[in-house]
Structure 1
Amino acid sequence: MRLSKTHWRAVRRYFLVFTAIALLPLALVYLVRSEQIYKIKGYEYINETRLPLIPEEAVQTLSQSDMLMVEKRMERRRKLMQEKCADYGLDAIGNDSWHKPNPWEFLVNRKYHIIWCNVFKAASSSWMFNFNVLAGYSPDFLHKTKEILLNLARERYPRVSLEQLREAQNGSITFIIARHPFERLLSAYRDKFVFAIPHSFHDKLGRKIVRAYRKKQKNVHIGPKHPTFPEFVRWFLDQVRYGNFIDMHFVSTTKFCTPCLINFDIILKFESLEQDQLYLIEKTGLKRVIAPEWRNMGKGKNTLELLKTFYSQLTRKELEGLYSYYKYDFELYGYDVNEYFKMLIEEEGVADDLATISA
């Protein structure tokens, strides 16, 4: 009798084990389909039907009068861009990279009908965070992870063709964030070279620039390990001159996002970002889902004094070279270059002909 009971318990135990093994694949399929599983990489994949909502009392909004004010601001920006695109013939498709639509850097969220061209060093970290939230990554994971947010985003936002982008734009809001070209360039230089991660790509590139562009002295180690700003600018202008590949952190926004060939509904600017972001979030109907996310805004934020410290080190010719490359960025977004020429430490009389620079 004892043997019989022991035998029965063993049979029941084996039955339960085999049943669990048989049902495990079905359970996993269910969890994946319902999107309630933690992926191997450690992030939470939120249920497809909705994202965690921001508490009502924590939602940031603009007043109706502010919404109208920002709306008019956006109309002026769109009009200026259209006029400048036509003036410079950038709205005509051609064979060079300035005249070819470039959908490569767009992130298309079809579910929430929002599309963004990611301009690096223009609140890109902040909106990469938000687009990852919209893709289903939990905010808690995004705050803690060591993974690169762009890599995470590309797992959910595959590159699109021009045809796919055009199709997705129907019923969606497409936006871009602009920043003064020289502020953006300095921010990228400091982030990628001055504060370079040891042994990273830009750290190694910086050392190559130093070896090639630092004047030979009795002590070749005089100066910082990273390229000085003038050394970086000389290297950068040589890349432009020889038609070499321009790093995505430094490339012209006009070439990167081709705004004259791909329509943008909302043009945010770094200088008015606080209001512009709230306007965009309101227009997309996502105010309970995402919020302004201020990331990496410390060392990249350029004060006038900081800008003067770096740009006053350049020669007039170098500054003219930079302006020549970024001219369309200045024109399309309504930025001024004259203040930067005033920063130069040069002979008297430089300021007298500033007007000719923008002609």
Structure 2
Amino acid sequence: MRFSHPYCRALRRYLFIFIAIALLPIALVYVVRLDQLYRIKGYEYVNESHVPVLPEESVHTLAPNDVERIEKRMERRRKLLQEKCTEFGLDVVGNDTWHKPNAWEFLVNKKYHIIWCNVFKAASSSWMFNFNVLAGYSPEFLQRTKEVFLNLARERYPRVTIDKLREAQNDSITFMIARHPFERLLSAYRDKLVFAIPHSYHDKLGRRIVRKYRSKGSDMNSPKYPTFPEFVRWLLDQIKHGNMQMDMHFVSSTMFCTPCVINFDVIMKFDTLDEDQLYLINKTGLTRVIAPEWRNAGKGKNTQELLKSFYSKLSPKEMHGLYQYYKYDFELFNYSASSYFNLVQENGT
């Protein structure tokens, strides 16, 4: 028995080590899966039967006279849109990218009866946050997650066909957000190319643009990212060669959402967004669920001086090329480009 006692202890020790080693892969798989669930699905995900309620101090409402005033604004926008669509023949369904209804980028929330065409660089980060809240992710989870909001949203909002979209529109409010085309373009250029994340798709795209469009005798102090004129030359070449399925951040809003062949109940604008989004939230009865958002406001709001500093570097031909591509965005949503053409005329470029 004197020899068996130490032997048993050693046997138990080896057995414990064997079991621990055997269970380690299972534990690692569990931890990884747990982390994935947290990051992608979110333990902060709210049960679909539960309606989130904002605290009283976060609830914003409009006075009846403000509702009436903004409703008239929306009526004017819908009327202008309809008139311009008819004027340019965009209200006739066809097979090209300007006339074929495009449901690809719509997010359809059937629970709250609200549908959004997500125009990138037109308060898209703000409303992607709200649509993720409507999808069930808690604001706390969204504030701290490293996941891309669009990826989270697509977990809850699968892409729909045009028939499914039209069916959902029967009992829903459909909206989009318009922005001055040249403001939106500059915002996209700065966000995606000037401030590109290293080794990202847009960082690599910027390097390709530089290699192709920067002259070999350029100043050694030129930035690593493409200058605005270099970017514009690349963009105009994409348009010239018929690459109309271009980057979603630079594509025309009219082509992206096809508002002439898909009905929109509310057309918000970036320049009146404070009131417009409050109107939409009130109209959809979501005042206790979501609040007006202004995310990425620092990069998103271009001052006139900033716009002038970039667009004054373009030639009249380049400005004209940009206008021709974004012409429908200007016309349908009542924007002007005259001040931008004055910039290049003043400089005599």
TM-score, normalised via structure 2 length: 0.87
Q: CA deviation at 1:174?
A: 0.1
2:78 match: 78
2:301 match: 301
Distance across 2 between alignment mates of 1:52 and 1:160: 26
Letter in 1 for 2:329: D
SS of residue in 2 equivalent to 1:298: helix
1:341 match: 341
SS of residue in 1 equivalent to 2:274: helix
1:141 match: 141
2:269 match: 269
1:289 match: 289
SS of residue in 1 equivalent to 2:182: helix
Distance across 2 between alignment mates of 1:125 and 1:269: 15
Alignment of 1:96-135 (within 5 A): 96-135=96-135
- 5+ unaligned residues in a row in structure 2: which ranges? 1-35
Distance across 1 between alignment mates of 2:309 and 2:345: 11
Q: Tell me which stretches of 4 or more aligned residues in structure 1 moved more than 6 Å.
A: none
Letter in 1 for 2:231: F
Matched, 1:177 2:170: no
1:228 match: 227
Letter in 1 for 2:47: N
Give deviations 1:17-42, integer Å, cap 9, x for gaps: xxxxxxxxxxxxxxxxxxxxx94433
The answer as to whether partners of 2:312 and 2:347 remain within 8 angstroms in 1 is no
The answer as to whether partners of 2:58 and 2:291 remain within 8 angstroms in 1 is no
The answer as to whether partners of 2:113 and 2:171 remain within 8 angstroms in 1 is yes
2:238 match: 239
The answer as to whether partners of 1:43 and 1:138 remain within 8 angstroms in 2 is no
Letter in 2 for 1:161: T
2:312 match: 312
SS of residue in 2 equivalent to 1:171: coil
% of aligned pairs identical? 71
Alignment of 1:61-72 (within 5 A): 61-72=61-72
Letter in 1 for 2:46: I
Q: CA deviation at 1:293?
A: 1.4
The answer as to whether partners of 1:39 and 1:45 remain within 8 angstroms in 2 is no
1:35 match: none
Q: CA deviation at 1:48?
A: 1.8
Distance across 2 between alignment mates of 1:256 and 1:57: 37
TM-score, normalised via structure 1 length: 0.84
The answer as to whether partners of 1:313 and 1:345 remain within 8 angstroms in 2 is no
The answer as to whether partners of 1:51 and 1:134 remain within 8 angstroms in 2 is no
Distance across 1 between alignment mates of 2:57 and 2:146: 31
Give deviations 1:72-125, integer Å, cap 9, x for gaps: 000000000000000000000112100100000000000000000000000000
Letter in 2 for 1:151: N
Letter in 1 for 2:313: Q
The answer as to whether partners of 2:187 and 2:302 remain within 8 angstroms in 1 is yes
Please say which of residues 58-67 and 205-214 is displaced more in the overlay: 58-67
Give deviations 1:254-293, integer Å, cap 9, x for gaps: 0000000000000000000000000000000000000011
SS of residue in 1 equivalent to 2:267: strand
Q: CA deviation at 1:220?
A: 6.8
Distance across 2 between alignment mates of 1:46 and 1:346: 56
- 5+ unaligned residues in a row in structure 1: which ranges? 1-37, 351-359
1:355 match: none
